[in-house]
Structure 1
Amino acid sequence: MTRLLFLNEAEVAALAPPAPKLADALADAFKLRAAGKIAMPTKTKLTTVGNDTFFHAMPALVPGMAAGVKWVGGAAGNSARGLPHINALLVLSDPQSGRPLAVMEANHLTGLRTAGLTLLAARYLAKTDASRLAVIGCGLQAWTHLEALASEFSLEQVAIYGRRLEAVNVFAEKASERGIAPRLCKEADEAITDADIVVSSIPEQPGLKPFLRADRLAPGAFAAMVDLGRSWRSDCLRGFDQTFTDDNQQSLTLRASNPTFEAADFTGDLGDLATGRVAGRVDADARIAFLFPGVALADIVIGRMLLEAAELR
């Protein structure tokens, strides 16, 4: 029997595909999803007493790649414990035989796949000459997004807002090393008002009140709400001219539990954009949101790419 592959976080980072290649693969997968050829049940959620800790099971079967499930656990108090907010594993199986193929630590994988989703959306929804990025939150997601977006957009400046000065300074130093000028902001509004692309990635935390307003964005801005929109005021979503998501079916299930998703009127999803069923940006001044939960098919796609890269070592 073939040995079961295990990849740790360092190996995942070392084997990671370039963001444009990942976005291309995701586009193909969303076309299959739009054609009804990908099975992806709604994620299952478990919470502990008091809702202090959550767990998600995210399964999908992508033809020609793999069946699999990502198991995600997270807790608002993890920062105080010195742990990442979210911790994950990905399990891949052969879709023909059911044989397990690989187990991967999936924290960095999640950052890469989420940035790949945003890059794919940005191809259709951001201005092609976007040069000013703003990040709200300075963790792993902010960095993977900067790397992914810089691979296809000529980013010159990144405005940075975060609540931990140490994280802000580390991110600013990394951006400088990447050749992108950092601008540290004391207020979130200061960061987003002249940005072409905004990435919000604020982790869930007790007592967090939404503080970002769509009407503070510059005309033509594209906002990627990596944080499920928790940092955005739902009463201000009307400030967006269009709102897209990654998968309509998955996002509609969140309306009962997430006020931002409840308030959103989705124009379309990545399957609609990839197949051309719905046009992307048609107005240079339109403010466009990408409000998305992140879907399992994307984890399977990058997991398969990592598996193939590992087999070539």
Structure 2
Amino acid sequence: MMKIIKKETIDAILEYSKLIDALRHVFQSRFTMPVRHHHFYQNAEGIENTLILMPSWTDNYIGIKQVVVAPENHRKNLPAIHALYTLLDAVTGTPLAQMDAAGLTSRRTACTSALAASYLARDDSKILLIVGGGKVAQHLVQAHSAVRAYEQILIWTRNESKGGDLVLNLQQAGFRNVAYADKLEEAVRRADVISCATLSHEPLINGEWIKAGTHLDLIGSHTPKTREVDDSAILKSSIFVDSRAGALHETGELAIPIATGILDPASIKGDIKELCCGEIMGRSSSDEITLFKSAGLAIEDLAAALLVYRNVEKETTSV
């Protein structure tokens, strides 16, 4: 019988270090991941919504994330994005589980960033800066702290009140070394690792602010016309991606400098699978500025969904 797994169960199971390990394992394994499908449709109100289908599979499992983006939902006090995840047996096609994909997506996104940082951030990184206060940003401190021991963690958001709430929540969760950063430039100049998860259309971070040895983790810009850092940051960085197929074309972070001739696609150092499999070198020196750009991968969802499903199955069997 297909299991319906609630968000509360997903949140309880997806502990950050375990999810990072699950992601590393899946990237080291054999899998298939077709390009995601985008379907644009006009709803009954004459508004264009987007249906996104993200399939991936291994020899034993198939996973499909179904996402609807409804940009006018804010008028109804509803989230703009709704998502479900369906897990099936790859051998028989039998549906195994269906679960809420919102929390699944936020956690796997943050943990993929932390996984990349385990290869690209300096071992002696002391200061972590989180830029943004949305759903993904709320998991970044926990995820990054699972791979590096930070002495200080800074939070910067456009809305100071929202940032203050995030700082308070993190402190209550046991992160006593978290503080709000009033000035973004000053925080960037100090940080060893900078993780950005914003919806900014224009660059927030100037490359001139970034010191030698910094690792940049860029999550937020997810359209070809939006970006979080400027050209100078791109030019001074060794660039790694989650996948060339997605990051080079779907994100303005890389698509814009490629279109203007600032960035040669051939200069991309590698992707997350190559890092996990040891096929390429990560950070090569303490002074190197590294940059990881993610667009989000369906196989990450499958890794997270399998971790949830297997734990639920184990608990059911042991009862």
**Same fold at TM > 0.5:** yes
- RMSD of the alignment, in Å? 2.5
Q: Find the counterpart in structure 2 of residue 251 from structure 1.
A: 247
Could you tell which deviates more after superposition, 114-123 or 158-167? Answer: 158-167
AA in 1 matched with 2:36: K
Q: Percent identity?
A: 24
Structure 1 distance, partners of 2:136, 2:28, is 25
Question: Which ranges in structure 2 are unaligned for 5 or more consecutive residues?
Answer: none
Q: How does 1:170-209 map to 2 (within 5 A)?
A: 170-177=165-172, 178-203=174-199, 208-209=201-202
CA contact (8 A) 1:255 1:261 kept: no
SS in 1 for 2:106: helix
Structure 1 distance, partners of 2:7, 2:233, is 36
Q: CA deviation at 1:284?
A: 0.6
CA contact (8 A) 1:222 1:287 kept: yes
Q: How does 1:266-285 map to 2 (within 5 A)?
A: 266-285=268-287
Q: Find the counterpart in structure 2 of residue 115 from structure 1.
A: 110
AA in 1 matched with 2:283: R
CA offsets per residue over residues 104-134 of structure 1, 9 Å max, x none?
Answer: 1011110111112111101100011222111
> Is residue 44 from structure 1 mapped to residue 46 from structure 2 by the alignment?
no
AA in 2 matched with 1:56: I
Question: Which ranges in structure 1 are unaligned for 5 or more consecutive residues?
Answer: none
TM-score scaled by structure 2? 0.85
> Is residue 97 from structure 1 mapped to residue 92 from structure 2 by the alignment?
yes
CA contact (8 A) 2:118 2:148 kept: no
TM-score scaled by structure 1? 0.87
Q: CA deviation at 1:75?
A: 4.5
Q: Find the counterpart in structure 2 of residue 227 from structure 1.
A: 220
Q: Find the counterpart in structure 2 of residue 23 from structure 1.
A: 20
Q: CA deviation at 1:283?
A: 0.9
Structure 2 distance, partners of 1:80, 1:161, is 27
CA offsets per residue over residues 134-185 of structure 1, 9 Å max, x none?
Answer: 1111122112111111122112222221122332111110232323433323
Distance 1:250 1:77, change over 3 A: same
Distance 1:98 1:170, change over 3 A: same
Structure 1 distance, partners of 2:294, 2:258, is 9
CA contact (8 A) 2:207 2:230 kept: no
Q: CA deviation at 1:77?
A: 5.0
Structure 1 distance, partners of 2:139, 2:118, is 16
Q: CA deviation at 1:209?
A: 2.2
Identify the match of residue 51 of structure 2 among 50, 55, 63: 55
Distance 1:9 1:147, change over 3 A: same
Q: What number of residue pairs does the alignment pair up?
A: 302
AA in 2 matched with 1:182: V
CA offsets per residue over residues 70-116 of structure 1, 9 Å max, x none?
Answer: 11233555556544453311111101001111111011110111112
SS in 1 for 2:190: coil
Q: Find the counterpart in structure 2 of residue 292 from structure 1.
A: 294
SS in 1 for 2:105: helix
Structure 2 distance, partners of 1:76, 1:295, is 22
Q: Find the counterpart in structure 2 of residue 142 from structure 1.
A: 137
Q: Find the counterpart in structure 1 of residue 157 from structure 2.
A: 162
Distance 1:216 1:267, change over 3 A: same
Distance 1:76 1:308, change over 3 A: same
CA offsets per residue over residues 31-88 of structure 1, 9 Å max, x none?
Answer: 23xxxx3211111113356986433211101234x11111123355555654445331
SS in 1 for 2:65: strand
Structure 2 distance, partners of 1:146, 1:71, is 27
Distance 1:78 1:166, change over 3 A: farther
Q: Find the counterpart in structure 1 of residue 310 from structure 2.
A: 308
Could you tell which deviates more after superposition, 77-86 or 40-49? Answer: 77-86
Q: Find the counterpart in structure 2 of residue 238 from structure 1.
A: 234
Structure 2 distance, partners of 1:51, 1:214, is 38
